[in-house]
Amino acid sequence: MRKPLIAGNWKMFKTTEEAKAFAASFKKIYESSDIQVAICAPFTQLGALKEAFKGTDIKVGAQNMHFAEEGAFTGEISAAMLQEIGVDYCIIGHSERRQLFAETDETVNKKLHKAFLAGITPILCVGESLEERDADRAFDVVKSQLVKGLEEITAAQAEVLVIAYEPIWAIGTGRTASPEQANEMCGFIRDVIDGLYGEIVADKTIIQYGGSVKPSNATEIMNMEEIDGALVGGASLVPEEFIQIVNF
């Protein structure tokens, strides 16, 4: 059985002191369960969050990383730097990275390989724009992102990979894909994984939905058969809201 993963993506929010305050508040209302929980925070907060969540099963993730081991890449962070502080997850290929920072399927693939080598579980983001969906290209776009992004990724790696389906038109817009739309695409993603690696791997791969997930819609989304959790944006910034999604 797949254990759902609810991961918060804080994007570029919170100082380290604010992150510590969140952790203190969240630990008071969090109870361990069959739901996996992670906070993906800015680089400067990761060490503090690892320390704050010590002794709990709450995991910590980064939002990006570089594929090189080291070098003249001003402003970048390597997998080894994340590994050193015990980061559990890393979001790779988020649509904001693709749109604003020229991330490509090729760089996504390189980052996936490097994350696995460092023992960091990648959260691979895929999703279509509104124009692509309206042009009936959503499934083709997502399949292409998966096939190119997963090039030379092994079946053993794919088993532990997390995939987040995030329709670009539903990120930070307040507009959410209907549960049926999200479930359909997550099922399609599982079919693509089945085609690449076989049914056993596909059955083990966690596939999340992300895109304006909030307490008011979390239960309906999480109860869909093919959806194994959520990548949560704004609602993950407030402990009282995030716990409602975790406890869907």
Instruction: Supply the DSSP string of 161-197, one letter for each residue.
Output: -EEEE--GGGSSSS----HHHHHHHHHHHHHHHHHHH
Residue 130: HSE in the Cβ half-sphere, 13 Å Cα cutoff: 8
Mean pLDDT of the chain: 96
Got the DSSP string for 197-217? H-HHHHHH-EEEEESS--HHH
Residue 39 to residue 238: CA distance in whole angstroms: 12
Options 103, 132, 166, 241, the catalytic residue: 166
Q: Determine the pLDDT at residue 170.
A: 78
* Rounded Cα–Cα distance for residues 18 and 12 (Å): 12
The Cα–Cα gap between 198 and 227 comes to 19
pTM beyond 0.75, yes or no: yes
Q: Is the pLDDT of residue 171 over 80?
A: no
81-129 residue pLDDT tens = 999 999 999 999 999 999 999 999 999 999 999 999 999 999 999 999 9
Annotated catalytic residue, options 66, 94, 96, 132: 94
3-state per-residue secondary structure call for 78-141:
CHHHHHHCCCCEEEECCHHHHHHCCCCHHHHHHHHHHHHHCCCEEEEEECCCHHHHHCCCHHHH
For each of the domains in the chain, give its residue range(s) and CATH number, in order of start: 5-246 (3.20.20.70)
If phi > 0 it is left, if psi is from -120 to 50 it is alpha, else beta; for residue 207 that is: beta
Q: Is the Cβ–Cβ distance between 22 and 40 less than 8 Å?
A: no
Name the binding residues for substrate. 9-11, 172, 212, 233-234
94 is catalytic: yes
Known binding-site residue numbers: 9-11, 172, 212, 233-234
